[in-house]
């Protein structure tokens, strides 16, 4: 099957599933989506397996080994990425609860200033007096 035919057919199937999701009964639509999901998962697993096999071939022929005239073997295969171990988080020497407090003490002056501001805000509001004669 040609590449373009494959893509057109895949798009057509997707459109059918979309259309039937809205037109078919709800139970059937859910079953169809589950079937599609399972098929997609199987395809994904197969492709994943192919990728892993291509990165770690078992046969020397699959590795891309080429024999030169002198009889030496040169590998042209894909080298797998080196495995690295994750870095461990640094251990804290102190407990998180032993951090010094960031607030400071309240002085009597601060307390008096807040008290005065509060008492002034509680004074009754005076009405606004007109400046001139208003007739």
What is the predicted pLDDT for the residue at 14? 84
What is the predicted pLDDT for the residue at 42? 93
pLDDT, one tens digit for every residue, the chain (135 residues): 678 888 898 889 888 888 888 888 888 888 888 888 898 899 999 999 999 888 886 655 555 554 445 555 555 666 666 666 767 666 655 555 666 666 667 788 888 998 888 887 777 667 777 777 655
What is the predicted pLDDT for the residue at 58? 67
Task: Output the pTM of the full model.
Answer: 0.37
What is the predicted pLDDT for the residue at 32? 85
Task: Locate the domains of the chain by residue range.
Answer: 25-56
17 touches 36 (CB < 8 A): yes
80 touches 56 (CB < 8 A): yes
What is the predicted pLDDT for the residue at 48? 92
What is the predicted pLDDT for the residue at 67? 47
Distances (CA, A) of 100 to 19, 50, 90, 93, 103: 63, 57, 21, 14, 9
């Amino acid at each position: 099957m040609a590449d373009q035919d494959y893509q057109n057919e895949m798009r057509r199937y997707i459109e059918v599933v979309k259309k039937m999701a809205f037109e078919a009964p709800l139970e059937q639509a859910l079953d169809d989506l589950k079937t599609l999901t399972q098929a997609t998962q199987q395809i994904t697993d197969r492709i994943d397996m192919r990728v892993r096999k291509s990165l770690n071939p078992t046969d020397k022929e699959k590795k891309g080994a080429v024999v030169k005239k002198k009889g030496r073997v040169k590998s042209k295969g894909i080298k797998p990425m080196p495995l690295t171990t994750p870095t461990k988080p640094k251990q804290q020497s102190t407990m998180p609860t032993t951090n010094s407090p960031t607030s400071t003490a309240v002085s009597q002056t601060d307390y008096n200033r807040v008290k005065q501001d509060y008492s002034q805000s509680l004074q009754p509001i005076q009405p606004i007096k007109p400046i001139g004669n208003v007739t």
